[in-house]
Amino acid sequence: MQMANRASRPGITSGAGGIGSATHLYGALFTAMAGIDMLLVQYRGEAPALSDLIAGQIQIVVSHPDWGDRAHQIKHASRSGRAPTHALAALPDVPSIGEFVPGYEAAGWHCVVAPKNTPPEIIDKLNREINLGLADPSMKQRIADFSDTPMPMTVADFSAYMVAYHEKWSKIMRDAGIKAE
C-alpha cells in the first residue's frame, strides 16, 4: 500500500482502491463535504482496503458494494460498526453517507454509447429499446440482484447528466490535487 495526501490531523485513515480510482474520488468528495482531514492510504484495489477495514487497520473505505463479493465484505464490516456506505436494499442496516453528510452523492453507473456520427434515428431507437428493457420487471429484478437501480433517460437527459458528471468530478480532482496515474 502507498501513503498519499498526508493530512494535518491524520487520526482518521481512509482506504482507496488506487490513485484516481472511483473510490479515491468518492473519498475526496466525502472529505471535502464533511470538512474533515484524513490520511489516505492507497491500495492495489478495493479488496485489500476492505480487508484492512474489517481488521480495524483503517477507519473508512468508500466502496462499490455492488461489485462482485464486496457486498458480503461490506455487510460483514458494517456489522462491526465500521462501514457506512450508500443505502442499498441488500444492506438495509447500513446507513448511507448522505445521512451523515447531507447532499453527498457518488455513484458508479453503466451506459450504452455509440460512435460520434451514428444517425439520430439509430440513437433514438437504441434509447427507446434499452429503456423498454429497463422497464421489464425481470430485468429490474436482475439489476436489483446486483444492488443496482435502473435509470432510464432520454438522450438529451443523458447528455446533460454526462456534462454535469464531468464537471463535478473534474472539480473534485482539481480541488484535491488528484491526477490519474
Per-residue tens of pLDDT for the chain, all 181 residues: 444 444 444 568 888 888 888 888 888 888 888 888 888 888 888 889 888 988 989 988 877 655 444 444 444 444 444 444 445 555 667 677 777 788 888 877 888 999 999 999 999 999 999 999 999 999 999 888 777 788 899 999 999 999 999 999 999 999 988 886 6
* 42 φ/ψ angles, rounded to the nearest 5 degrees: -90, 130
Give domain status of residue 141, yes or no: no
Domain that holds residue 24: 2-103
Domain assignment present for residue 118? The answer is: no
Residue type present at position 96: S
**Mean pLDDT of the residues in the chain:** 78
- Measured distance CA(174)–CA(25) in Å, rounded: 11
Give the CATH number of the domain where residue 90 resides.
3.40.190.10
Rounded Cα distance between 24 and 28, Å, is 6
pTM for the structure as a whole: 0.69
Contact between 28 and 42 under an 8 Å Cβ cutoff? The reply is no
Inside any domain, residue 144: no
Residue 7 domain-assigned (yes or no): yes
Number of domains the chain contains: 1
pLDDT per residue as tens digits for the range 63-78: 765 544 444 444 444 4
Return the sign of the alpha-carbon dihedral for residues 42, 44, 46, 48: negative
Q: Is residue 119 part of a domain?
A: no
- Percent helix / strand / coil, the chain, rounded to 5: 45, 10, 45
Distance CA 33, CA 124 (A): 38
